[in-house]
Amino acid sequence: MYPFEGATSFVTRAWYVAGWSDEITEKPIARTILGQSVALFRVSTGEPVALSNRCTHRGLPLAMGTVNGDEIACGYHGFVFGLDGRCRRIPSQERVPPGIAVRQYPVAERWDWVWIWMGDPAFPDYSLLPDTQELGLGGDPWLAVRGDDFHVRARYQLFNENLLDLTHLSFLHADSIGTPDLLESQMTVDVVDRTVRVERCTRSEQMSPFYARRLGIPIGRIDRRHVTSFVAPTFHVVHVIAAKEGTGVGPAPAVLGEHKILHAITPETETTLHDFWALTRTYNTSDEMTAYLRENINGVIRQDIVALEATEAALAGCSDRPLEFSCAADEAALKGRRLIQQLLRAERPPNTEEKRR
Amino acid sequence: MYPFEGATSFVTRAWYVAGWSDEITEKPIARTILGQSVALFRVSTGEPVALSNRCTHRGLPLAMGTVNGDEIACGYHGFVFGLDGRCRRIPSQERVPPGIAVRQYPVAERWDWVWIWMGDPAFPDYSLLPDTQELGLGGDPWLAVRGDDFHVRARYQLFNENLLDLTHLSFLHADSIGTPDLLESQMTVDVVDRTVRVERCTRSEQMSPFYARRLGIPIGRIDRRHVTSFVAPTFHVVHVIAAKEGTGVGPAPAVLGEHKILHAITPETETTLHDFWALTRTYNTSDEMTAYLRENINGVIRQDIVALEATEAALAGCSDRPLEFSCAADEAALKGRRLIQQLLRAERPPNTEEKRR
Amino acid sequence: MYPFEGATSFVTRAWYVAGWSDEITEKPIARTILGQSVALFRVSTGEPVALSNRCTHRGLPLAMGTVNGDEIACGYHGFVFGLDGRCRRIPSQERVPPGIAVRQYPVAERWDWVWIWMGDPAFPDYSLLPDTQELGLGGDPWLAVRGDDFHVRARYQLFNENLLDLTHLSFLHADSIGTPDLLESQMTVDVVDRTVRVERCTRSEQMSPFYARRLGIPIGRIDRRHVTSFVAPTFHVVHVIAAKEGTGVGPAPAVLGEHKILHAITPETETTLHDFWALTRTYNTSDEMTAYLRENINGVIRQDIVALEATEAALAGCSDRPLEFSCAADEAALKGRRLIQQLLRAERPPNTEEKRR
């Protein structure tokens, strides 16, 4: 599946955002993650639970069932399952044969996000959960606000590569956050473990009106540093630091303000995804600025979505793997691909035959 | 195709309801049955006719043609076909070469239903048509009323199994016809030829308000007997007898009222179906009660359809045959599966390779 | 693919109408032709250009880009391509590696149509472009008016065969242009190179009110000659000459009026198409008659589209190649099939395995 080898692009040994905390309540919802339909709900203690959405009796989605205390009853014939997915009761008979169960998925609530582990449920790797403090979601001096949940008809790697090559800002977002100066900036790319780190610094960049309003200063020239940390397979932190002109790349930048945009991308199917985004910042913490940022960033993401969906639609029409040329600015994207490809290979049994698309 | 072996779940050597009598007129309609598009119409004598909907000349649906007397003319180039499907005239030439024909399907009109035989047209087995008298469609003491035609996006066996395991009433229909007492009742299951007969008797069951209103008596306790006769592949008679408390299961029940709900399920494609239902009863024969029953039963069926379509949608998302556990209450459903599987095997040429889904 | 051997029905070594002249401007549009997505636009000199719609960098449709002078810039990361499809600039770097290009398609503007060559771009065969004078698109005594662009969900050969067997006029268009007399007429069919020429002459034919109004004479009897020239794979000229009764088939017909209906059919996918039609005539050149003809011919084509789409939908439901009988009136259609089949074979590498559908 383009751009990866192999039939699937799903990395299962990873945490994905399953939903916003306030989406998951005692009334179950169904969400498809990596092609698997999952029932998400909270039990009476408030603990979030994720079970396979298919009742193992006759297949009705469990999300159509009812939560009572610490168990969920299927809405069809009333089979009752506990938090571990084991069947506890069958209303029409006395005994529950051993072994009847639905798959349970480990979950972890961090900040306003409920994360789900899609690998072997017996071995969730909690060390792979992002550090909330480091993300700027732990409070002062950061003010974190949740963004929206965008449903996008595109394979997740298209979104990854959008975020990993910021030169698109100068074209796709020319009328909002993009400035031509970004194209001139130097880029460095490093890979450490599952992370690709991309840094771009601009000097004496002309501010966009959008950016000046954010910082509450008159339009003029600044230095800026963009640091993108991409944690494979789908988590992005874009850290933007604005500094006074001439100070941004030196040892003691005169910082005007910082923000981090976080994108937690959750593949839904091989060609669709959810994007749960958030923003955290050190400047102007007024509600008015929060509303302004949400509106503007939603607008920017919508421009990306138009491009992503058009690209996906074009891929759907290709019978062959598309011929593709990369340029220097694709360095980070290509390193990201390689990381994911390694994760995919590690998950695949050795002699699996490969399909290419 | 789940839950059957083999690529198809279609039993062709069977009668299916093609439509309500009043749907089939001199203006042809097209209906897909077992994946075959069929043109249905009446000739001038009133006799219903079913022909393959594909004109054998250039493939326009015959249902777009015009009936004249005892023949139908295609709406494209005017080829004329008789009731036996043979081409009688080609307007642009004098002679009709021998052998030009469309497939003809045997039909039989019984009560308000027009039945179609989907097996070899030369050998329709009329002994397999249900006995209208026995169904309670022959008049006094029964009053038969036609229900509706529901189009359902689910494979037919899901509907069969819904009707064969009435324990779902206590959950899916908890707010209408379901009572918890049904779960306690004994079930006996017998198989004779193509029929699975399931009997459940409740004692001292608390009536639902719905049921009390039907019988026109105050809410209280009754005995009830449910006898479901499932005639493979898709015909169901659910016969419900209400008796005074304490008399229902003895030799001389004091019957308060009886009704039969009939479901004639016609597979449209492998994953869609039509349900033509009817009801016949011995109690309160007023038009008001008829209207009340139609409305209420339609409501109950709509609840079933929500469950059936959700289950089908979940199956569509499964790449593998789903893992499934059955319980004691599934006895009738499993015996029904076995009957159908036998019919399917009997139709398949011996060395056919089997696909599983 | 019915009715052809082989998996594809696309003849690539041919010119197709890509669009109306006034559709193609400096604002690019995307159109799918033979399954290939093409970006169509004009450069500042007014010259029309067709490039593959897939940017070879990261796949965004080029039609979402911007035309400047004689080049187009992709809307994603700004790659710039010239008229020959070669990449001229990459904004984020100095050098353009050699060989980066998108496919360019030869185009030719004739009358109000922009034609595109779908074969090898190095060898467009301009001799296959239709002669505008001969089509009646060159002016006096002909008045040419453009028709509409119909999008039809049917494989192109269904439309070809519709136009090649005019006996359908007597049935499908019985209420508009059809008369029963056409069925009686003699037909001659000749094949020369890529062209099937079909001639039908009627004598003492009863005029339809529609036709009388066209010619501006009272309803009565006329002689008529229909000459259809089908140029494989998809271009049709239906030349209709009305003459005074008794003169039409002799050496000196007393011509009452002539018109030509032109259909340029452009396959979009294997099962959808665009029909760009036009009409040119020698009679009543008033705007009122032009409007009347457009409205009426659109109405006739809409009747055809209903039949074509119903036939295509029926084919989609067939798992096997349909059994089909032809009659004498299909002679031209069958000769057309054979021509196209020859063109398809000529394009296929010798040992290609054939799929049949």
Q: How far apart are CA C114 and CA C40, in angstroms?
A: 10
Residues 92-131 on A with a CB inside 8 Å of B are 92-93, 97, 99-100
Q: Check if the beta carbon of residue A315 is closer than 8 Å to that of residue C59.
A: yes
List CB contacts of C308: < 8 A, sequence separation 6 or more: C152, C154, C158, C159, C162
Q: What is the dihedral of CA A332, A335, A340, A343, to 10 degrees?
A: -140
Residues in chain C with CB shorter than 8 Å from the CB of A328 are: 92-93
The per-residue pLDDT of chain C, averaged, comes to 93
Q: Check if the beta carbon of residue A285 is closer than 8 Å to that of residue A143.
A: yes
Tell me the nearest-neighbour CA distance from A244 into chain C, angstroms. 25
pLDDT above 60 for B310: yes
Residue found under tokens 């598309």: A322
Number of H-type helices and E-type strands within chain C: 7, 18
Q: How far apart are CA C54 and CA B271, in angstroms?
A: 37
Tell me the nearest-neighbour CA distance from B243 into chain A, angstroms. 23
Q: How far apart are CA A205 and CA B194, in angstroms?
A: 82
Is A90 in CB contact (< 8 Å) with chain B? Answer: yes
Q: How far apart are CA C13 and CA C31, in angstroms?
A: 18
Looking at residue B54, its pLDDT comes to: 96
CB atoms C314 and B54 under 8 Å: yes
Of B32, B56, B77, the CB nearest to C167: B77
Most confidently predicted of A231-240, A318-327, C196-205: A231-240
According to DSSP, the residues that pair with B259 across neighbouring strands are B240, B281
Looking at residue B122, its pLDDT comes to: 97
CB atoms B327 and A35 under 8 Å: no
Among A50, A47, A25, which residue's Cα sits nearest to residue A106? A50
Q: Check if the beta carbon of residue C78 is closer than 8 Å to that of residue C91.
A: yes
Of C59, C74, C93, the CB nearest to A329: C93
pLDDT band at A227 (very low <50, low <70, confident <90, very high): very high
pLDDT above 50 for B15: yes
DSSP H or E run through A345: helix A331-347
Start-to-end CA span in chain C (Å): 5
**b/e burial code for range B138-158 (CB count within 10 A of at least 16 → b):** eeeebbbbbbeebebbbbbbb
pLDDT tens profile C193-243: 999 999 999 999 888 888 888 888 898 999 999 999 999 999 999 999 999
A99: left (phi over 0), alpha (psi -120 to 50) or beta: left
Residues in chain B with CB shorter than 8 Å from the CB of A100 are: 325
pLDDT tens profile A271-285: 999 999 999 999 999
CB atoms A311 and C60 under 8 Å: yes
Q: Check if the beta carbon of residue B51 is closer than 8 Å to that of residue B105.
A: yes
Question: For residue B7, what are its two tokens?
Answer: 């690529």
CB atoms A329 and C77 under 8 Å: yes
Is A284 in CB contact (< 8 Å) with chain C? Answer: no
Residues in chain C with CB shorter than 8 Å from the CB of A326 are: 57
How would you class B243 by CB atoms within 10 Å of its CB: exposed for 0-12, middle for 13-18, buried for 19 or more?
Answer: buried
Q: How far apart are CA B267 and CA B259, in angstroms?
A: 26
Among C230, C22, C231, which residue's Cα sits nearest to residue C109? C22
Residues 42-71 on B with a CB inside 8 Å of C are 53-54, 56-61, 64
Looking at residue A355, its pLDDT comes to: 47
Of A165, A310, A326, the CB nearest to C61: A310
Task: Among C173, C185, C305, C311, pick the best mutation site for testing chain B contact (most B Cβ within 10 A).
Answer: C311
pLDDT band at A157 (very low <50, low <70, confident <90, very high): very high
pLDDT above 90 for B305: yes
For chain C, strand residue ranges (E) read 15-20, 29-33, 36-42, 48-52, 66-68, 71-73, 80-82, 87-89, 104-105, 107-110, 113-117, 143-152, 186-192, 195-206, 221-231, 235-244, 255-269, 272-281
Looking at residue A178, its pLDDT comes to: 79
pLDDT tens profile A22-49: 999 999 999 999 999 999 999 999 999 9
Looking at residue A62, its pLDDT comes to: 98
Q: How far apart are CA B250 and CA B117, in angstroms?
A: 41
Is B311 in CB contact (< 8 Å) with chain A? Answer: yes
pLDDT above 70 for B351: no
pLDDT band at B352 (very low <50, low <70, confident <90, very high): low
Distance of CA C93 to the CA centre of its chain: 44
Tell me the nearest-neighbour CA distance from C306 into chain B, angstroms. 10
pLDDT band at C15 (very low <50, low <70, confident <90, very high): very high
**The total number of residues written for chain B in this structure:** 357
| Domains (range + CATH), chain B | 22-106 (2.102.10.10), 131-339 (3.90.380.10)
Q: How far apart are CA A268 and CA C191, in angstroms?
A: 55
CB atoms B77 and C168 under 8 Å: yes
Looking at residue A356, its pLDDT comes to: 45
Tell me the nearest-neighbour CA distance from C94 into chain B, angstroms. 48
CB atoms C322 and B59 under 8 Å: yes
DSSP H or E run through A221: strand A221-231
CB atoms A314 and C61 under 8 Å: yes
Looking at residue C350, its pLDDT comes to: 62
Is C321 in CB contact (< 8 Å) with chain B? Answer: no
Is A318 in CB contact (< 8 Å) with chain C? Answer: yes
Q: What are phi and psi of A33, to 5 degrees?
A: -130, 125
pLDDT tens profile B260-284: 999 999 999 999 999 999 999 999 9
The Cβ-side half-sphere exposure at C217, using a 13 Å CA radius, reads 15
pLDDT above 70 for A350: no
Among B288, B305, B347, which residue's Cα sits nearest to residue B13? B347
pLDDT above 60 for A353: no
List CB contacts of B273: < 8 A, sequence separation 6 or more: B151, B152, B154, B155, B156, B159, B265, B266, B267
Q: How far apart are CA A164 and CA A199, in angstroms?
A: 10
Among C206, C281, C204, which residue's Cα sits nearest to residue C239? C281
Is B73 in CB contact (< 8 Å) with chain C? Answer: yes
According to DSSP, the residues that pair with C29 across neighbouring strands are C40
Looking at residue B350, its pLDDT comes to: 62
β-pairing, C15-20 vs C71-73, is: unpaired
Q: For chains A and C, what is the number of CB pairs under 8 angstroms?
A: 69
Looking at residue A351, its pLDDT comes to: 58
Is C214 in CB contact (< 8 Å) with chain B? Answer: no
pLDDT tens profile C142-152: 999 999 999 99
Q: How far apart are CA C79 and CA C92, in angstroms?
A: 9
CB atoms C322 and B32 under 8 Å: no
Looking at residue C252, its pLDDT comes to: 78
Residue found under tokens 């779902």: B168
The per-residue pLDDT of chain A, averaged, comes to 93
β-pairing, C87-89 vs C80-82, is: antiparallel
From edge to edge, which strands make up the β-sheet containing C15-20? C15-20, C113-117, C107-110
Residues in chain C with CB shorter than 8 Å from the CB of A324 are: 56-59
Q: What percent of chain A has pLDDT over 90?
A: 82
Of C171, C172, C314, the CB nearest to B61: C314
pLDDT tens profile A97-140: 999 999 999 999 999 999 999 999 999 999 999 999 999 999 98
Tell me the nearest-neighbour CA distance from A228 into chain B, angstroms. 35
For residue B173, give the DSSP letter.
Answer: T
